[in-house]
Amino acid sequence: MVADLAALRVAAGGVAAIAGPLRIGVAEVVALTWIDRLLARIASAYPRLAPELDVGLSGHLLHKLAAREIDLALVPGPVALRGAAIVELGSCTLRWMAQPGLARAGMAVTPAELAELPILALTPDADVYTVMQDWFRRGGVTPRRLNRCNSFSVVVSLVRKGVGVSLLPEELLGGVIAAGGLVVLQVQPPLAPVVYSAAYLPRDDLPVLPELAQCAREAAGLPQAWRGAAALDWAAGKVGARGDCPEIGGVGAEAI
């Protein structure tokens, strides 16, 4: 119904009437994979819209969406926001991964055994942090050493450097795994895929939000959309200089 009303407004005003900033909150995995494809679609369909990307963790982005500080959020995990319209975009398979020097490919580990290794995690406002904590809780254990960081790229870099193990999307890192840069651990219980969604709060002054969410769905559905990210190859060689991981060893990320 909302999409039908939006389509009528767009038809009445024409695409040329849709102009101005478009504030998009983007999870880092999306930013590293198919956001360029979405931007190309927006530029073609709505040339007078000016996208502004806000890359962050899902909890922070949903808080901004609730406050109407962004117009569209592309995030993983459940979206529990009253009045929000949600379009499913696709999913990623989460796997426990480590540097080959820290573990063997296909190595079977229990939650109790994994809890003895240094764990690298995103901060609590990331959906994957909740997934990770729930997985350990179901195993009846608590990680002995849990290091938190607010940058997905930095977490990947630190895992590749052998600092610890982490729960990472297999599709995105398939090339790194195939090249021997990371190994996948076999664990029980297995983890369910994490579902990504486009979420927005309908607005009379931006009636194309349903169409933009569908553009995101199309971009995410393209072949290889979720696979590979050249930016992660760069990140493996240089951790961000902002010191986004103060909890790791008590030092900034650049010092690790």
Expressed as residue numbers, the domain containing 23 is 2-91+195-226
Domain identity same for 54 and 120: no
- CATH code where residue 12 lies: 3.40.190.10
pLDDT tens digit sequence for 36-51 = 999 999 999 999 999 9
Statement: residue 97 has pLDDT above 80: yes
Q: What is the pLDDT of residue 143?
A: 95
Domain identity same for 181 and 218: no
- CATH code where residue 102 lies: 3.40.190.290
Q: With bands split at pLDDT 50, 70 and 90, how would you rate the model's confidence at 241?
A: very low
Domain identity same for 179 and 161: yes
Q: What is the pLDDT of residue 188?
A: 87
Q: What is the mean pLDDT of residues 184-190?
A: 91
pTM score? 0.85
Q: What is the mean pLDDT of residues 155-183?
A: 94
* Degrees to nearest 5, angle at CA 185 with 75 and 121: 40
Burial tier of 237 (Cβ tally within 10 Å: 0-12, 13-18, 19+): exposed
Q: Is residue 75 assigned to a domain? A: yes
Q: What is the mean pLDDT of residues 5-20?
A: 62
Q: Is residue 256 assigned to a domain? A: no
Domain identity same for 99 and 213: no
Q: Is residue 167 assigned to a domain? A: yes
Q: What is the mean pLDDT of residues 148-156?
A: 95
Q: What is the pLDDT of residue 106?
A: 77
Domain identity same for 101 and 142: yes
Q: Is residue 255 assigned to a domain? A: no
Q: Residue 130: which H helix or E strand, with range?
A: helix 127-138
Domain identity same for 157 and 237: yes
